[in-house]
């Protein structure tokens, strides 16, 4: 029996479902999750010693590949100074300055430990600032697992066919209105009828939790206009897209200025760090300055800050994003070509170091279209690639990630395996 099977059997005794985050289980694709022991660059190795090319990248953070030398050195240095102090540190100022420089809509920023905390805190701040309660979110966008955001919330829930989590009180859910992504008309109608109640609209400007779905520029611009017009705050949840699609995030690509931005994943460089920030006038409502309470024992943890800061510095190397984008395009265009050659209905999209694979003829624009992709084909493709040593996300509702260490040789090897996988789908 494989070591992965043994470990999974053992894990299920003391850990619900054997995993500490549901998306790690192979529930939608079937089979046994791999227990990973170590990683380097674009690869990781499982408990049986089998090597995989990693297209999950810890679900986004590992944009530099695993164990980047400069990040490792920064963490090693921080490690010798102490793990946590519960006091302010100079490195927290440095990373705050770096974030404000790279994402100009952020004038002030607060560090937290997870993306969930970032969005949850941003919402509380938006409600405290506007003195309104209603939140608008979009179907298929995931913003972490806070109660008010766990409604029609993308990948993890979608993989299990549940629109909304149990355990969310009706009295909380009633303040969240869920609209269709990229639906301009529905958005305008909603603002026309309840605009004065809306505290904030939270959106993934480039959605990555229902596979990859681009926000249409007209949709996001309209959103900005309507929020300004009605006194609601626009929150860009860039926990995934931040530093992933471009150095300045999706807001730089679309040239749209949100009121608040949530960051995570890459800003911790693989350690638990996330952040929310925005206009100074809004951020001034946070404790200890203002009446909106928010706190964290390990917020701004020295090891996480060291990893994050070193990562942000590496991303500013000349042509980093051009190179990342070129490598990602080599993968997605190669896959599209291979699938076409095999006569499959298949399409791809990519932005920066993020990509979508769709078993349908054209990239989807909303959740309903994602749900129409051929799931059987996806599952067969996933398992064929996994067996060949290429680890894609175990769900058709996830985006994929390329790191700067996924070079031409790694990608070409992936394409060779994919050709075999695609032709097997036709048998």
C-beta of 201 vs 410, nearer to ligand PLP = 201
Beta bridge pairs of residue 164: 151
Please select the residue that binds ligand PLP; options are 29, 71, 201, 239, rule is CB under 6 A: 239
CB crowding 277-311: b at 16 or more within 10 Å, else e: bbbeebbebbeeeeebebeeebbbbbbbbbbbbbb
Please select the residue that binds ligand PLP; options are 89, 209, 325, 347, rule is CB under 6 A: 209
Question: Computed from CA positions of residues 91, 319, 351, 62, in that sequence, does the dihedral angle turn out positive or negative?
Answer: negative
For residues 143 and 155, give the distance between their C-alpha atoms in angstroms, rounded to a whole number: 11
Please select the residue that binds ligand PLP; options are 58, 116, 211, 379, rule is CB under 6 A: 116
The distance of closest approach from Cβ of residue 264 to ligand PLP in the complex, given in angstroms and rounded to an integer, is 5
Span of 113-121, 282-290, 374-382, 419-427 interacting with ligand PLP by CB under 6 A:
113-121
C-beta of 156 vs 334, nearer to ligand PLP = 156
Q: Is 264 in the site for ligand PLP (CB under 6 A)?
A: yes
CB 205 within 8 A of CB 254: yes
Span of 31-39, 95-103, 136-144, 313-321 interacting with ligand PLP by CB under 6 A:
136-144
The site string for ligand PLP over 139-178 (x = CB under 6 A, - otherwise) reads ---xxx----------------------------------
Q: Is 215 in the site for ligand PLP (CB under 6 A)?
A: no
CB 213 within 8 A of CB 140: yes
Question: Computed from CA positions of residues 237, 239, 245, 249, in that sequence, does the dihedral angle turn out positive or negative?
Answer: positive
Within 8 A by CB and 6+ apart from 84, the residues are 298, 301, 302, 303
Tokens of 408: 């031409």
C-beta of 88 vs 167, nearer to ligand PLP = 167
For residues 190 and 212, give the distance between their C-alpha atoms in angstroms, rounded to a whole number: 25
Q: Is 240 in the site for ligand PLP (CB under 6 A)?
A: yes
CB crowding 27-36: b at 16 or more within 10 Å, else e: bbbebebbbb
- Torsion-angle region of residue 77: left (phi > 0), alpha (psi -120 to 50) or beta? alpha
C-beta of 68 vs 204, nearer to ligand PLP = 204
The distance of closest approach from Cβ of residue 238 to ligand PLP in the complex, given in angstroms and rounded to an integer, is 7
Q: Is 204 in the site for ligand PLP (CB under 6 A)?
A: yes
Site size with ligand PLP, rule: CB under 6 A: 15
For residues 345 and 331, give the distance between their C-alpha atoms in angstroms, rounded to a whole number: 17
The distance of closest approach from Cβ of residue 111 to ligand PLP in the complex, given in angstroms and rounded to an integer, is 13
Q: Using CB under 6 A, which residues numbered 338 to 397 contact ligand PLP?
A: none
Span of 10-18, 101-109, 171-179, 232-240 interacting with ligand PLP by CB under 6 A:
232-240
Within 8 A by CB and 6+ apart from 14, the residues are none
The distance of closest approach from Cβ of residue 163 to ligand PLP in the complex, given in angstroms and rounded to an integer, is 18
Active-site residues, by number, are 142, 237, 265
C-beta of 206 vs 386, nearer to ligand PLP = 206
Q: Is 115 in the site for ligand PLP (CB under 6 A)?
A: yes
Within 8 A by CB and 6+ apart from 343, the residues are 426
Q: Is 269 in the site for ligand PLP (CB under 6 A)?
A: no
Q: Is 211 in the site for ligand PLP (CB under 6 A)?
A: no
In 3-state terms, what secondary structure has residue 325? helix
What residues line the site for ligand PLP (CB under 6 A)? 114-116, 119, 142-144, 204, 208-209, 237, 239-240, 264, 274
């Amino acid at each position: 029996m494989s070591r992965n099977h043994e470990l999974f059997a053992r894990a299920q005794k003391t850990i619900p479902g054997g995993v500490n985050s549901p998306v790690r289980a192979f529930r939608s694709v079937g089979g046994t999750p791999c227990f990973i022991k170590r990683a380097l660059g674009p690869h990781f190795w499982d408990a049986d010693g089998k090597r995989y090319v990693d297209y999950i990248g810890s679900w986004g953070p590992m944009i530099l590949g695993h164990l980047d030398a400069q990040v490792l050195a920064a963490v090693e240095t921080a490690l010798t100074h102490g793990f946590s102090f519960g006091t302010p540190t100079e490195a927290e100022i440095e990373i705050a300055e770096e974030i404000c420089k790279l994402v100009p809509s952020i004038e002030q920023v607060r560090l937290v430990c997870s993306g969930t905390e970032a969005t949850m805190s941003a919402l509380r701040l938006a409600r405290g600032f506007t003195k309104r309660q209603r939140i608008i979110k979009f179907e298929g966008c995931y913003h972490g697992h806070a109660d008010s955001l766990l409604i029609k919330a993308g990948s993890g829930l979608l993989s299990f066919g549940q629109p909304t989590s149990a355990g969310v009180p009706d009295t909380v859910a009633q303040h969240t209105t869920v609209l269709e992504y990229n639906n301009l008309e529905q958005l305008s109608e909603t603002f026309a009828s309840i605009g004065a109640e809306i505290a904030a609209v939270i959106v993934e400007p480039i959605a990555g939790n229902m596979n990859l779905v681009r926000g249409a520029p007209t949709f996001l611009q309209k959103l900005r206009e309507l929020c300004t017009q009605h006194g609601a705050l626009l929150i860009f949840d860039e926990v995934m897209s931040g530093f992933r699609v471009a150095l300045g995030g999706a807001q730089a690509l679309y040239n749209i200025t949100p009121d608040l931005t949530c960051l995570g994943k890459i800003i911790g460089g693989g350690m638990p760090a996330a952040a929310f920030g925005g206009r100074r006038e809004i951020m001034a409502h946070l404790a200890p300055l203002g009446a909106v309470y928010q706190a964290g024992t390990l917020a701004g943890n020295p090891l996480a800050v060291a990893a994050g800061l070193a990562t942000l510095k590496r991303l500013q190397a000349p042509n980093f994003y051009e190179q990342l984008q070129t490598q990602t395009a080599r993968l997605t265009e190669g896959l599209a070509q291979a699938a076409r050659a095999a006569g499959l209905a298949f399409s791809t999209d990519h932005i920066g170091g993020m990509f979508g694979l769709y078993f349908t003829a054209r990239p989807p624009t909303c959740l309903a279209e994602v749900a129409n992709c051929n799931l059987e084909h996806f599952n067969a493709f996933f398992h064929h690639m996994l067996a060949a040593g290429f680890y894609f996300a175990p769900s058709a509702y996830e985006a994929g990630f390329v790191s700067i260490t996924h070079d031409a040789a790694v990608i070409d090897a992936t394409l060779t395996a994919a050709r075999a996988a695609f032709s097997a789908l036709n048998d």
